[in-house]
Structures are given as C-alpha cells and as structure tokens.
C-alpha cells in the first residue's frame, strides 16, 4: 500500500519568525499522523525551519534549485547547498516556475537528475492549462511532461521521486478538479510510468494532487484510488487548516 504524503508549498510567503511560529504551532497537531508531512519553504526560512522541526515528524523541502553543483550563476542555489543544511525534498518544475521563470521540460529533467544524484527527493510538478484541458489535450500534455521529466533516469532511482499533478487552472483559483478528473489524470500518469518502468514502479510511485486543496475537499480527493496525498498552496499557510488536511483520515 502506498503511503499518503501531504506537502505544503508556502511559495513566496512567511518570514523566518513566522516559519518558526508556524512549525511550533503545528507540531503537536500532526505528531500522531501516519501520513508524511512536508513543508516546502522559501530559501530564507530553510535553516530556521530545519532547526525548529528537529525531533518532529515534519520534513522540510525547498521550492526550487539549480542543476549545477556550483559556479557563476548569480542568485541561484545548488542541490549541494540544500543537502548540506539537511533539506530532504525539493519541488521541481512547479507551473509558476515554468510560467514566470523559463523552467522547461529540459531543465526539469536536469534538475531531477541532479537532485537524485545527491539523494534529495524531488517533488516533480506537471499539469495542463485551461485551454489545453478544454481542447481535450490534458492527458497528452501531462504524459508528455512526465516522459520528458524522467528521460534517462534509471529505474532504481525513479522510486525516489514524488509526482504532483497540478492542473494550472486549479491553482489558487478555488476551482478544484473533480475527484474523478483528478484521479483519471493521475491514472494516466501512472500508465505512462508503467510503459516506461513497468508495473511494480507504477504501482509504488507516489502521485499527489495539487490545486485549491482545502480541509473541506481533501478527504474526498485523498481517498480516491490513485491519489496519494496533496501538494497544498494557500491552505498550507495556516497551521490549523494545514493540520486538518494532514489529519484528513482521523
Ligand atoms: P493552491 O493550493 O493555493 O491552489 O496552490 C497549489 C499549488 O500550486 C501547490 O504547489
């Protein structure tokens, strides 16, 4: 049985003191869950968050990284830099990075490989626009993104990635995919993984749903056959709301 992984993506929100307060507040609320809890925080909050989350069941992730180890890349952060302070996860290919910061399928693939190489676990995002959905191309778009994202990544490493299906039209809009639509899209991703890596991998790989997940809709989404938890934006900014999502099965 696949476990459920609930990750918060704070995006560009929270100063270090707010991150510390959040983690102190949520720690007792989620300490008994059997679900995995991850907070993907801004770079400037990483160190404070890691220290505050020590000896808790909360894991800390970053929201992006460069694929090179070091060099003349002003303003960038390398996988080794993240790893050196104890970061375990990193979001790669979020639609906001694809849309505003020139992230491409090729850089996504390079970043996944660089992360896996030093045992950082990538949370790889794919998803279609509203226009693509309305023209009936959603499945083709997301399976194509997956194919390019995992290009040349060996089977023994692919188990260490988490995939997040995030339809772009559902991000921050209050519109969620219906449970069936989200589940079907995730099934299509699983089938693509099966074609590339075989059934064992496709049945064990974690695939989350993201896009306007809240405490009021998470249970129906997370109990669908193929949805293994969520990547939560806005609703992860409040510790009580996010704790309710983590504890959806209580
Ligand atoms: P919202 O939950 O705010 O729609 O954001 C989803 C998201 O982009 C998570 O990565």
**pLDDT (tens digit, 9 = 90+) per residue, 45-74?**
999 999 999 999 999 999 999 999 999 999
Distance CA 164, CA 142 (A): 11
Ligand 1 is surrounded, with C-beta below 6 A, by 9, 94, 166, 171-172, 210-213, 231-235
Q: How far is the CA of 92 from the centre of ligand 1 (A)?
A: 14
Q: Closest Cα partner for 231 from 158, 133, 125?
A: 125
Atom 7 of ligand 1, nearest CA residue:
233
Atom 5 of ligand 1, nearest CA residue:
233
**Which one is catalytic: 36, 103, 139, 166?**
166
Is residue 203 part of the annotated active site? The answer reads no
Torsion of CA 204, 209, 215, 216, to 10 degrees: -110
Q: Which CATH number fits domain 5-246: 3.40.50.150, 2.60.40.3500, 3.20.20.70, 1.20.140.10?
A: 3.20.20.70
Q: How far is the CA of 198 from the centre of ligand 1 (A)?
A: 30
Atom 2 of ligand 1, nearest CA residue:
233
The pLDDT tens digits for 91-116 are 999 999 999 999 999 999 999 999 99
Q: Spell out, as residue ranges, where the chain has pLDDT lower than 50.
A: none
Which of 89, 92, 172 for a ligand 1 pocket mutation test, highest count of atoms within 8 Å of Cβ?
A: 172
Distance CA 250, CA 248 (A): 6
34 CB-contact burial (10 Å; exposed 0-12 / middle 13-18 / buried 19+): exposed
- Has this prediction a pTM greater than 0.85? yes
Strand partners, 62: 90
Distance CA 106, CA 172 (A): 26
- Residue 172 CA, closest ligand 1 atom number: 4
Q: How far is the CA of 171 from the centre of ligand 1 (A)?
A: 5
Residues 82 and 122: beta-carbon distance below 8 Å: no
Per-residue confidence (pLDDT) for residue 132, from 0 to 100: 95
Lookup: tokens for 188: 């299509």
Residues 248 and 219: beta-carbon distance below 8 Å: yes
Strands 89-92 and 162-165: unpaired
Per-residue confidence (pLDDT) for residue 176, from 0 to 100: 83
Per-residue confidence (pLDDT) for residue 81, from 0 to 100: 98
**CB-CB neighbours of 78 under 10 Å:** 18
- Residue 91 CA, closest ligand 1 atom number: 10
**Which one is catalytic: 36, 66, 94, 96?**
94
CA angle 154, 155, 159 (to 5 degrees): 115
């Amino acid at each position: 049985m696949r476990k459920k992984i609930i990750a918060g993506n704070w995006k560009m929100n929270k100063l270090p003191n707010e991150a510390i307060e959040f983690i102190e507040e949520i720690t007792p609320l989620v300490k008994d869950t059997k679900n995995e809890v991850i907070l993907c925080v801004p770079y400037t909050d990483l160190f404070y968050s890691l220290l505050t989350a020590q000896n808790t069941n909360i894991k800390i992730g970053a929201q992006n990284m460069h694929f090179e180890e070091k060099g003349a890349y002003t303003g960038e952060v390398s996988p080794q830099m993240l790893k050196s302070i104890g970061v375990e996860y990193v979001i790669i290919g979020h639609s906001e990075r694809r849309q505003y910061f020139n992230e491409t399928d090729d850089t996504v693939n390079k970043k996944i490989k660089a992360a896996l190489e030093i045992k950082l676990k990538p949370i790889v995002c794919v998803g279609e626009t509203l226009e693509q959905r309305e023209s009936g191309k959603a499945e083709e778009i997301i399976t194509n993104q997956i194919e390019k994202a995992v290009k040349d990544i060996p089977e023994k490493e692919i188990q260490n990635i988490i995939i997040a299906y995030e339809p772009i039209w559902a991000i921050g809009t209050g519109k969620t995919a219906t449970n069936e639509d989200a589940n079907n899209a995730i099934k299509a991703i699983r089938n693509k993984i099966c074609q590339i890596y075989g059934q064992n991998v496709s049945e064990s790989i974690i695939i989350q749903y993201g896009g306007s997940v809240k405490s009021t809709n998470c249970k129906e989404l997370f109990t669908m056959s193929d949805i293994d938890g969520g990547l939560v934006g806005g609703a992860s900014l409040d510790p009580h709301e996010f704790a309710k999502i983590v504890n959806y099965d209580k």
